[in-house]
């Protein structure tokens, strides 16, 4: 993932707990525990240093979530804070947190300010079934997903007069049809199309819900589709809010 740090011109909203002109910032941090314990400091000491950084610039902390796995020498945190960009400019925010990152030899230190930073740019990989794709597109149109959609890629051809094709054309979103087979997954072409995106979205996100003997096939399908749409939306929001961090090889930390 590439996080962009140029400033976009957007309306700055009033944030609870902040002054007029305050904006919300999010910071995620990951460092080795044995290095993080500089001068005998433990997890509490690391949090204190991060808090001091925010407070020294006139910011107010909304929340701090910490994850320190048992018997693992690693430290993860996610902080939400409000600050006045006039007192703490966006580039200085990055510089201040970078100093802490170097102090603790952090493996990851990312700051995001939704009101100032560009939206994440995503590409959508869609299958033939459309319920997740359609729901995602309409939530995006209503401004309920904080992303820009660069393109939709699918191994299924959609006729030009279908509602999805018309929607994409109306909003200037390219649609790429790439038929795949067991011997040709078109991976190189897909990677080229998504080169400038921040992350990929698979427009079907499987989940399980309790069903009973009273459920018909129709009601079961409806429950399944509703869950897939809800899970996909929540997954996108969580990623944009820096709530998902890689942990070890095939695990994640979710704040």
Q: How high is the pLDDT of residue 122?
A: 94
Nearest Cα to Cα of residue 36 among 101, 98, 95: 101
Percentage of the chain exceeding pLDDT 90: 53
129 against 79, higher pLDDT: 79
- CA distances to 25, 27, 199, 235 from 243, rounded to whole Å, are 13, 10, 14, 9
Q: Which helix (H) or strand (E) holds 29?
A: strand 23-32
Highest mean pLDDT among 141-150, 181-190, 213-222: 141-150
| pLDDT value for 255 | 93
Residue 101 has pLDDT above 80, yes or no: yes
- Give pLDDT tens digits for 56-66: 999 999 999 99
Rounded to 5 degrees, φ, ψ at 77 are -150, 155
Q: What is the pLDDT of residue 130?
A: 86
> If you average pLDDT over residues 25-37, what whole number do you get?
78
**Domains (range + CATH), the chain:** 22-112 (3.30.70.260), 120-206 (3.40.50.170)
Q: How many CB atoms lie within 10 A of CB 126?
A: 23
């Amino acid at each position: 993932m590439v996080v962009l740090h140029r400033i976009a011109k957007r309306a700055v909203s009033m944030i609870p707990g902040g002054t007029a002109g305050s904006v919300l910032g999010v910071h995620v941090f990951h460092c080795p525990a044995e290095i993080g314990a500089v001068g005998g400091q433990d997890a509490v000491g690391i949090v204190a240093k991060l808090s001091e950084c925010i407070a020294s610039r006139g910011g107010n902390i909304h929340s701090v979530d910490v994850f320190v796995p048992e018997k693992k020498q690693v430290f993860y945190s996610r902080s939400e804070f409000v600050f006045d960009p006039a007192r703490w400019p966006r580039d200085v925010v990055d510089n201040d947190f970078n100093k802490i990152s170097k102090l603790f030899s952090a493996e990851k230190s990312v700051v995001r300010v939704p009101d100032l930073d560009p939206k994440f740019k995503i590409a959508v990989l869609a299958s033939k079934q459309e319920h997740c794709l359609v729901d995602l597109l309409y939530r995006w149109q209503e401004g309920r997903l904080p992303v820009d959609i660069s393109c939709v890629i699918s191994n299924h051809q959609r006729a030009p007069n279908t509602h999805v094709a018309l929607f994409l054309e109306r909003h200037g979103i390219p649609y790429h049809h790439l038929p795949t087979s067991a011997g040709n997954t078109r991976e190189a072409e897909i990677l080229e199309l998504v080169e400038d995106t921040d992350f990929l979205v698979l427009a079907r996100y499987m989940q399980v819900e309790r069903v009973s003997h009273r459920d018909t096939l129709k009601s079961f399908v409806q429950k399944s589709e509703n869950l897939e749409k809800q899970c996909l939306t929540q997954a996108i929001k969580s990623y944009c809010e820096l709530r998902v961090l890689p942990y070890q090889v095939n695990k994640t930390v979710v704040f």
